[in-house]
Structure 1
Amino acid sequence: MNYSTVILLCESGSTHDFKDNLTKVYEAIEESDFLAIDGEFSGISDGPSVSALTNGFDTPEDRYQKLKKHSMDFLLFQFGLCTFKYDHTEEKYIMKSFNFYIFPKPFNRSSPDVKFVCQSSSIDFLANQGFDFNKVFRTGIPYLNQEEERQLREQLDEKRSQANGAGSLSYISPNATKCPVTIPEDQKKFIEKVVEQIEDLLKNEENESLELEPCTGFQRKLIYQTLSWKYPKGIHVETLESDKKERYIVISKVNEEERKRREQQKQEKEQEELNDAVGFSRVIHAIANSGKLVIGHNMLLDVMHTIHQFYCPLPDDLSEFKELTSCVFPRLLDTKLMASTQPFKEETKSVIHEETGPGSDL
């Protein structure tokens, strides 16, 4: 059977490359006849090797429980995807391959700050194979599971709702109020100084905006609460972040039309940032929604990690896991199992099956 490799995308794994090529990934998945996946992990098992951890006397439930307990604290940080489409004119398969470097960078302070562990044998193997760890940690594509995405979208909707009910302010702290707030004694001079600066801004016809010094989250909260009742119209308030990751407030003089325009821009930017945070999960969702046959070799851990990282924590027992897996990947084929089962076992017995890497004994 003939194959033709026509494309290799997203090898750098950066968010920028991912966004530029996401439409092409979607198209490749949609037009394919079947897919193949493979993952690389920061480790395979916590403590004993997989061969020592599991054995031939384990029931499927035992094996699932052991792998769930000892392997899910590792990180799947590279995901390979190949799509295959048969060209009837050329009588060959057209293969498109994609290589994604993945890392769960926080979207904002409300985002999950993921902890994971590494296994020296896995890291050593990947390093010897030329794996680029800088691409993972510096430019890896972020992701969220479904519950994390839902929570962040609810927070964003709540913030927008509060902003829409607050008049001129484009951003309002969850505890902002239209009534005078109680300011702690040690913060009164700080707030008084901010108010003086705003008064000067409003009186000065030449200046259109005011950039406050970086301050703490509590001080920013006090600023928003104070401005929400003291200046109900005529100003736009926004929190930005400097190159040094310091957060500061910018206050601008605006009319109502300009305020709405800036608010719309801000909402669009927030939506784009949230979509970026969902990141690689969108590829997994596209694979799942396609219903296409997904092929892998020795792929139990690949499937477990994919569901665990991009959908939800693994269920407690095997029956629930199988039900969940059938929803995410309704059609799966493991070539290792296929090759060791009749009648294919007889057909392939002359072929030496050998895998490299720390996961070869799974």
Structure 2
Amino acid sequence: MEVTRQNFKDTLKTVCSAVEEADFLAIDGEFSGISDGPNVSALTNGLDTPEQRYAKLKKHSMDFLLFQFGLCTFKYDQEKSKYIIKPFNFYVFPKPFNRTSPDLKFICQSSSIDFLASQGFDFNKVFCNGIPYLNQDEEVQLREQSEERRNQQANGVGTPSFISPSSKGPAHVPEEHKDFINRVIGKVEALLTNSEKTLDLEPCTGFQRKLIYQTLNWKFSKGLHVETVETEKKERYIQVIKVDDEERKRREQQKREREQEELNDAVGFSRVIHAISKSGKLVVGHNMLLDVMHTIHQFYCPLPEDLQDFKEVTMCVFPRLLDTKLMASTQPFKEMITNTSLAELEKQVKEAPFKSPQVETAEGFHSYDTAQEQLHEAGYDAYITGLCFISMANYLGSFLTPPKAYISAHSKVVEPFFNKLFLMRIIDIPYLNLTGPDLQPKRDHVLFVTFPKEWKTSDLYQLFSAFGNIQVSWLDDTSAFVSLSQTDQVQIGDLIQAAMLVVFLRQERTRRGDREQDLGGLAEDRVSAAWPPSVVPLP
């Protein structure tokens, strides 16, 4: 089901009902970018700690926008022995509620936008019809402002929407506005004596509207309802209506209800996240760390600086998470699944020893066909993420005694995968543990290497060729981590320094074209001024 600003209010009840009755939920997000730098490895160094990876993603990725959110609910039907699914595809875009509400800036990464456009992504639906949202802090602030205005109006201090006898004296009107206010008073007096019921004043500035409210509040003790109206062109003017006490109270009540409805509309898509959070249901995603970070950042609260604080916030919002990429990368699936990208995983878990899950789309919902891939539509990706989870979970049932063909989302068999989020391209820490300490592998076989800017990966392999297999994790143009295959090889740092000197001198010799020059002479000539490389064990 496609959901935009036009049908969000009518659909929200259906969404909340689907969440509440589901056995588990699958989510996916599409973003305006992934990183803000040309060197993606700066975000995915193979020897990052979980703290470093979180800090990098928070710094470089949160200025992008999650503008399409996919949600697919899965409910198992015992009689049919199949899952009933309800997929939703939300278009999301921040729209300022009023002049005091946040007016967000965000970054678009050209490569991401170009890729989504090539997949047929409809950006008009995002920018023109995206569902607005507020995080919890913004919602509280707006509700407090609304309550404060109401209290001021009740005490005759603010700009009331009706005329009451509470004002203690005339408003101070600057000299340059006196003619304008006198003309308004004349029009209102005429309204009170003629048969007309409504008077629409001309559009004016906010300050002039404030003077009108204050003056009418003082001069006319009762019998009028005054409120600001906005035209389609965003012009604001004041409307004055003749009312009796009963009508005035009714209109004031309607205005309060309208304000609350507008505030609820401003909270917008965040209400879906609130419903998911309140349900406590298992939320399944694929490689979902960024999805979780963006969802919390945009719809719940700003991300905390500290990783442990992030874990605690995440567990408050999503008490149970499961990452299918981590699941597919872990035993017993690791040896059977050769490619853990979502599209390839969905294909592999259709084949033996796995079985495709039996699913049925609920009436009134769009039915997806995996034979006609709709990858990078968030609703479709959420759908196939759920299918992958079901296939892998059911496979685990084959290890039980007796074997079970169906494993529910509540089964203890899948609990070992709960609340662990896959960490991309980290050599020895496969996941972020949200409910406990992260893995702390020994890294005494890792060296920090600095070298000239001209060096390439092949130079590093040549440098360490005598020490077996190595793994290189670039940091920048002049440094990298090098992981040796044997821990005890780190103790030969002096020999490595000598090897680096040889490689450097060979490069200098080739560069100068002086193949007969003695290495020692070249060292005297150049090394003292141009020798930056160093090798040290990782602390």
Identify the residue that residue 192 of structure 2 maps to in structure 1: 202
Q: Deviations over 1:300-356 (max 9, x none)?
A: 11000000000110001111001110110110111111211223212323x563668
Q: Which moved more, 1:153-162 or 1:186-195?
A: 153-162
Q: 1:52 to 1:257 in 2, by over 3 A?
A: same
Identify the residue that residue 252 of structure 2 maps to in structure 1: 263
Describe how 1:1-362 pairs up with structure 2 within 5 A.
9=1, 11=2, 13-166=3-156, 171=161, 178-204=168-194, 206-349=195-338, 351=339, 353=341
- Decide whether the 8 Å contact of 1:38 with 1:302 is kept in 2: yes
SS of equivalent to 1:323: helix
**In structure 1, how many angstroms separate the alpha carbons of the residues matched to 2:341 and 2:161?**
60
- Decide whether the 8 Å contact of 2:228 with 2:238 is kept in 1: yes
SS of equivalent to 1:93: strand
Gaps of 5+ in 1: 1-8
Q: Deviations over 1:219-263 (max 9, x none)?
A: 111111112211121110000000111000000111101101111
AA of the residue aligned to 1:95: I
- Decide whether the 8 Å contact of 1:166 with 1:172 is kept in 2: no
SS of equivalent to 1:277: helix
The percentage of aligned residue pairs carrying the same residue is 70
Deviation of residue 50 (structure 1)?
3.8
**In structure 2, how many angstroms separate the alpha carbons of the residues matched to 1:286 and 1:133?**
26
- Decide whether the 8 Å contact of 2:76 with 2:83 is kept in 1: yes
**What is the total number of aligned residue pairs between the two structures?**
345
AA of the residue aligned to 1:285: H
Q: TM-score, normalised by structure 1?
A: 0.90
AA of the residue aligned to 2:120: G
Q: 1:224 to 1:123 in 2, by over 3 A?
A: same
**In structure 1, how many angstroms separate the alpha carbons of the residues matched to 2:276 and 2:337?**
29
CA RMSD, 1 decimal: 2.1
Deviation of residue 53 (structure 1)?
2.2
- Decide whether the 8 Å contact of 1:170 with 1:236 is kept in 2: no
SS of equivalent to 2:334: helix
Q: Deviations over 1:62-83 (max 9, x none)?
A: 0000110011111111000001
- Decide whether the 8 Å contact of 1:234 with 1:254 is kept in 2: yes
Gaps of 5+ in 2: 344-374, 377-422, 426-539
**In structure 2, how many angstroms separate the alpha carbons of the residues matched to 1:100 and 1:29?**
15
- Decide whether the 8 Å contact of 2:325 with 2:340 is kept in 1: no
Which structure is higher in RCO with an 8 Å CA cutoff and minimum separation 6? 1
- Decide whether the 8 Å contact of 1:201 with 1:209 is kept in 2: yes
**In structure 2, how many angstroms separate the alpha carbons of the residues matched to 1:28 and 1:217?**
44
Deviation of residue 178 (structure 1)?
3.7
- Decide whether the 8 Å contact of 2:287 with 2:325 is kept in 1: yes
**In structure 2, how many angstroms separate the alpha carbons of the residues matched to 1:98 and 1:260?**
41
- Decide whether the 8 Å contact of 1:104 with 1:143 is kept in 2: yes
Q: 1:137 to 1:178 in 2, by over 3 A?
A: farther
